[in-house]
Structure 1
C-alpha cells in the first residue's frame, strides 16, 4: 500500500474514532447558512486530519470544508471531515469522513470512512487497498425498475425545484430512493454495488472527490446531468448499463 493511501486511511480513522466517541453526546452547533449546520466535532475532526496529513506531507496543499484552501502545492488533499453533520447531530449513523488526493488536477486516491459501522471504502491508482476495505464494483443491474437511486443535494442551496423534479422522475419508475444524507456515502454505496444510481446536485469539491473516484475505480460511469463530461457538483453516477436511462431527465 502506498504511503499516500496509508496516511489517508489513518487520518480518516483518527477523525472517525473521535466522532464515534462523541456520537450522541454532542448536539450544540451553529449554522454557516440556513440549513447548513457546523459543530465543534466538525472543527476538531478537521484539525485531527490536517495534523496527520501535514506531519507526513508538510508541503502539500489541503482543501478542507471548514478552513478552505491551505497552501498552493499542485498536490492537494481534499477533505470533508464530517460529511453528514445534520445526521450526526440528530443521532443518525449515516455520516462519513471523506479524503481525496489530487495531483496536477487528476484524482489519485479516495477514502470514505463510515465510523459507526467501521466501514472503509478506499482506492488508489498507485496501490491496492488494505484487506479490510469494502470490495468495490458497481452493480450489473440493467432494469431501471429494479434500481435504487440516491439524490444527494446541498443544504446550502434552497432553490430545489430541480431536486424535487428528479425525485418525481425516478420515484415513478425505480424500485426505490435511498439517499443517506451524506453524498460521500451515497457514492461509496454505489461504488460497492449496494445502490445503482446517484443523481447529485451542487456537491462541493470536498463532498464529491473521494466518492467519485471510488465509483470510477469500481467501473462506474460519471457524467453531467446531460450525459456529457463534467467537473462540477451536478453529476450522474451509475453503472454503464443504467447510465443512459439515468440521464434521460433533461
Structure 2
C-alpha cells in the first residue's frame, strides 16, 4: 500500500475522531439523567455515545462510501476488505461521572490488518494518531514507548469487564503477580486511552481483558508505531485480551498471562 494512501486514511481518521470529540465536549458535565441508559446491569451508554457515533459514521462514509463501518453502539457489517472500527466514547462510566479520562477511537483495518488509528481526548484536546510505517504522534510530536528497563520502576495499566465471562479470580491472580513485581499499577478505565498513554511512555505495560475490536484497533497501531509490542489473544474479535508494552516488559506480561490463562 502506498504511503500516500495511508496518509489519506489517517487524515480522515484524525478528523473523524475530533468530530466525535466535539460532540462529547458539548455533553460533558451537562448530561441529564434521561440521557443515560443501561445496556446491562453495569453497562452504560449515553446520548453522547450515540450522537458521537452517528457524526463519525456519516463523515467516514461521506469520504469512503464503499468502506464498512462498525461502531460500538450502532454496530455494522464486517463486509469487504476495508472496515472502520469506532468507539465513539471510550470510558463512558468515566464520562458520566465527570472523570475526564475518556476519548474517541477511530481505526481502519484493511484485509485484517490495522492500518491507521486516531484517538482524541476531548477534555485535554489531545490527539494521538499513527499510520502503518508513518510513526506515532501526539499533537504533531513524535512519541515513543518507555525505555525504562527495571520492573520496580515500571507502571502497568490494567482492566477487566464488569461482567467477566471467565472466573474473575484468574484476573486477580494475574494482577497480584504483576503488582508484586512492578512499581505501580493503574486502572484509568478507557482501553484506547490507556494504549495511547503506553505509547507515549506514561505506562510501560498494559493488560486488559475481554475487549472488542473498536476498543483496540486505533490504540494498538499507535503503540506499535511508537516502538511497542502488542498481542491480541483472539485477534480482532469480540472478547479479545490485550497484552502490550515496551520491549522490556512485554515478555514478562505475556508470560504471566499465558501461565494463568493459557492464551
CA-CA distance at 1:136 after TM superposition: 2.1
Give the match for residue 57 of structure 2.
Answer: 50
**CA deviation profile, 1:206-245 (whole Å, cap 9, x unmatched):** 00111111111111112367xxx95562131011112222
The answer as to 2:94 corresponding to 1:77 is no
Distance 1:35 1:114, change over 3 A: same
Give the TM-score of the pair, scaled to structure 2.
0.87
Give the match for residue 174 of structure 1.
Answer: 182
Q: SS of the counterpart of 2:211?
A: coil
Q: How does 1:67-216 map to 2 (within 5 A)?
A: 67-70=74-77, 72-125=79-132, 127=134, 132-157=139-164, 159-216=167-224
Find the partner of 1:218 among 226, 238, 248: 226
CA-CA distance at 1:80 after TM superposition: 0.4
The answer as to 2:23 corresponding to 1:15 is no
Which stretches in structure 2 are left out of the alignment for 5+ residues? Answer: none
Distance 1:71 1:248, change over 3 A: closer
Tell me, yes or no, if the aligned pair for 2:128 and 2:138 is still in contact at 8 Å. no
Which stretches in structure 1 are left out of the alignment for 5+ residues? Answer: none
Question: When the two structures are aligned, how many residues end up with a matched partner?
Answer: 247
Tell me, yes or no, if the aligned pair for 1:98 and 1:113 is still in contact at 8 Å. yes
**CA deviation profile, 1:129-163 (whole Å, cap 9, x unmatched):** 77833532110111111110011222342642222
CA-CA distance at 1:71 after TM superposition: 6.3
